[in-house]
Structure 1
Amino acid sequence: MVKRTGEVVMGIIGIVLSALFSIIGIVTNMSMGDPAIMDEMEQMMESDPAMTPQDTSFILGFAETMGWYLIVIGLIASIFGLVAVLTIVKNRKPILSGIMFILAALVIGIGTIGFGFIPGLLFLIAGIMAFVRKPKPSETVYQD
């Protein structure tokens, strides 16, 4: 039996870091709903002579959309990571776990355009370890 402590630890750290992206998205959405923060952001952007009102509204709309996007990406990667950790505990299904770890790495790494590099790398390493580590063959001694 192979101990899967490394995969579990990297998976849990990856889950926590992926969930942080969801928290960042929630904070972004909460700040976009606060009129005082919105007014201050609009005043900051209007003070720049190069910014047009269309640019200001585009940037604010993009920030609001980005909040929801981060929430969804963080949740999907966290769920994939959680399923992977639960299936690799006690070496139950290492192939399924490896697939889920790699899917989580792709979602958080590519979905955040590289900002999720660290959790993506952790998930990727854990997925590769899940595929590569095999139990040692047991030697049986036959007696005549």
Structure 2
Amino acid sequence: MIKRTGERVLGIIGIVLFFLGTLFLGALAVGADQGLFEEFLLEMTDENSEFLESGTDPLTEEEASEAIEMLEMVNFGLLTAGSLIPAIAGIVAVVMVKKKPIVASILFLGSAIFYGATSFLLVAFILPAVPLILYLIAGIMALVRKPKEPVEQL
């Protein structure tokens, strides 16, 4: 039997990061539904805004409307689900990695690909790539590591 500590540690760290991402994206989804982004961006257009530091130019109306249009295109509900599903699959994979490493590898790699496909909108952020990379490494490790064959004594 081979120890799978590396796969488990990478999987657990990935799970924690996926759950943090789910909470963050869920908060963004709630904020987008309540129109908080629009209010904030419109506040940034006001020259007397408390959000602006001294010497900072306020946003123009055109810039604010462009930013609002971009935020309306993002489906935060899909991104939240796209982060929650790999977290749940990671829990299953961490539990299964000792007994069935091939199945765990498929779960790690599949959920990493699924997350990459659903979160391609957040390419500008580095943080969403960290759990994806951890899952890829854990999946590859679970797939390629084989138990050592015992050496026969003469």
What TM-score do you get using the length of structure 2 for normalisation?
Answer: 0.74
8 Å contact kept, 1:12–1:85:
yes
State the secondary structure of the residue aligned to 1:137. coil
In structure 2, the CA distance between the partners of 1:56 and 1:126, relative to structure 1 (3 Å rule), is closer
- The match for 2:103 is 96
Number of residue pairs the alignment of both structures matches: 137
Structure 2: how far apart are the matches of 1:104 and 1:52? 36
In structure 2, the CA distance between the partners of 1:45 and 1:24, relative to structure 1 (3 Å rule), is farther
- The match for 1:118 is 130
Calculate percent identity across the aligned residue pairs: 34
* Mapped pair 1:73 → 2:82: yes
- The match for 2:39 is 39
Q: Deviations over 1:31-90 (max 9, x none)?
A: 23446664232343685143485x465234235x2x2122111111112211111111xx
What TM-score do you get using the length of structure 1 for normalisation?
Answer: 0.79
Looking at secondary structure, tell me which structure has more helix per residue.
1
Q: Deviations over 1:4-23 (max 9, x none)?
A: 00000000001111112211
Unaligned runs of at least 5 residues, structure 1: none
What is the CA-CA distance between 1:140 and the residue it aligns to? Answer: 4.5
Runs of 4+ in 1 over 4 A off after TM superposition: 33-37
Structure 2: how far apart are the matches of 1:8 and 1:21? 20
Aligned-residue RMSD, C-alpha: 2.6
Structure 2: how far apart are the matches of 1:111 and 1:125? 19
- The match for 1:62 is 73
